[in-house]
Structure 1
Amino acid sequence: MTAPVSLSAKQARSIAEATARINIWSGAVRSGKTIASLLRWLMYVATAPRGGSLVVVGKTNDTVARNVFEPLMDPALTGPVSRRIFYNRGAPTANVLGRRIEIVSANDIRAESRLRGMTCAGAYVDEATLIPETFWDQLLARCSVPGSMIFCTTNPDAPNHWLRQRFILRQGELNLKFWHFVLDDNPSLDPAYVNNLKAEYSGLWYRRYILGEWCMAEGMIFDSFDPDRHVVDHLPLMERWISVGVDYGTVNPFAAILVGVSTPDADRQRRVYLAGEWRYDSRQERRQLTDAEYSARLGRWLDTFPGSYGPGTSGVAPEWIVVDPSAASFITQLHRDGLLPTMGDNSVLDGIRTVANLLAADHLRIHRSCQGWLSEVGSYSWDDKKAAIGDDVPIKLDDHSMDAARYGLHTTQAAWAPLLEPLPAY
């Protein structure tokens, strides 16, 4: 089976050498590891032993569709073989080369039960570090058909993650093959794209997603933040008011951050702005507000926000009001008041990476009036104790404006990201 793509030497070697019970491709984003693993999986499906199920595993059905089946069904990758791959997004099964493939999501500790009763002849695992350890152990036990093999990809995680400690570091002891990819291992990428990607990541994300290192999360989270570069005293004219991110608090502070995208500057570049902030700290004010009072004050703040559409104007109508998903009663109140809230995406690590990438790429500015955000950013740090056990989480202290901005930016990324592409020069 030959795919109509040009493979790097490392990709070709990994495909040829992936003959172990467990085969792991790890490394940087866009480094070619996924393509190599998928082609090897196709080869395996064509010859896999009978008498057991073939399984594709991912964190969610959406990630399985995006990371596994979209590439497999792309003729540019798999050529005429793509016509023998049948899958409908969200379906529990697929058909690949005449073999039935079970689709299993593994997004929490309960996922392990989805494998019980199965006898497997092989498995493909997407983003292996994101699945629960108990699920992985159950998968190993279920791959009991003689000759069964497991193929998986992963971006690097903490150095003491269970996949690295229990499996990768024991490569010599186990029936396991492992390949490490860095971004520069993919010669098919446009050099300008590679340079842009390297510029857009910093700190932890650069080491993991560019260099492919398994490294600890430590120190300041937004280590590329530079007050002299990122903080502004004046807002430019805004092309779109994207969102207000809200971190709800009753005893803790309530924080709302307004997000906008500017019109192109002299270099024909738009930027995302944290344009304003409204906070209420019940401890300082010595009075807690009700949901209705919070909703009314938030609405008044938006209605009176100064200079929103140019000199002499006021008021802003953001496209989304993105709220802390745990604030169910406040979300209900906003609906009653006609403000149409959206539940925020609380994927903490993904959201932090979105903000970090914006700062590193010089695509984010913070207005000096966002005093809560500016007071929190310097102490917003990784939790060393959690990192020691393999968990990347921030210290939960004085992070209310951090969370509000994360909701407002990460949840609406699909709306503002295309606007940041530089305009062509004429």
Structure 2
Amino acid sequence: MTPEVVVYRYLEAVQREPVDVAALTRIICADADFFGIWLNVLRLPADPDLLRQSLSELPAEVLRTLAKAHTQGMVFELSAVHLSIERWESALQGAFLAEALAREVEARTAVPAKSDAAFRASPMRIRSLILLATSGVSLVHDSRLQELIKFRGTEEAALADADPVHQILAVIDRSEEPEESARLAVQLLHVLPERLAELVRAAEEACQRMMKVIGIDTELESTWSERIAQDERVATLSKLFEQMPEAAGDLNLYVRHQLASRLLFRSQPGLLLRREDDAYYLESSADVRVLADSQQSVIARACREGTPASFANHDGASIADRLVLRRLHVEEAIVFPLSAVSAEDQPCVGALVFPLDDDPEPEYLIRAYARLLARVVGESRKQTILSRVAPA
């Protein structure tokens, strides 16, 4: 089963506003389970380009619903056994090696395109086919993949006149036995050991680049299942902010923020919202405001730059920042701007201020909640503007 870190990055990509289909496709195509499920749902052959095109044609909410429905049983079943990240990486690396071998054979064998002996799939599609075949994922509507799985493990002698893709699969299947894999590469593909070693290194590098792009860090220690569970809590709480009465305005938002944040965090964070006078106000306190263009305020600078920043109560600090700390009854805090999902040409809509102590709240949870509030406040501001310019 898919490693938890891959599930997390997958859900993270799905929840972006707007959905980055190219990024999502990269994650799906790197994981045999996700890849197989989507190809089956959309009735597509193992082809990344076709998948990306089909995903881009789905409405965002349909895409999110299908994605979440698939993952619900992957993390929360106590009996679920997840594939180790090392084995997952090995499968992906084997697929990249298959692609490299396909390009090598294709470049060396100038066979007319209409010949029966020519490749019937692009090297990238071959990478997909090998990833699925070596992972035991079959598709009833992809005869090419079915053939690979059907004849997998065929004796070497019978592979002599087989399609190169079957020969490549035989080499990949012996990857854990380097000498045997090298012998088969020579015998079936006429790839010398020295060249195979170069292709293996290239495949390792390609695999590492892909993992870096999609955010898979094997050195990062994290309880990924807990992250996914917390993200689900935030998603559930998003319903608390839906259909808020317009008349209540920011006051209604503050109240709902208090309820939601008390469920999520040990210490309730303060919420500052930007108003029409280009100042950030702390909840319902009209006397505590931070000017958006202040050069002394750490809060204002963090909101302008869109990055978290810590600040403390000391004589040289901004009075506005110190008043925020005073209202929160803390000496130190960290501010998280509500700008993660704002448009580039739109100002930050607010900020969360968390007490800073020896046992800080998980940053991934803070960011998930900040994204939710940024979306809620942004939509609220947009509706307010539209209502003002609407014809009577």
Q: Please report the TM-score for the alignment, with normalisation by the length of structure 2.
A: 0.24
Larger Rg: 2
Give the helix-richer structure, 1 or 2.
2
Q: Please report the TM-score for the alignment, with normalisation by the length of structure 1.
A: 0.23
RCO greater where, 1 or 2, for CA within 8 Å and sep 6 or more?
Answer: 1
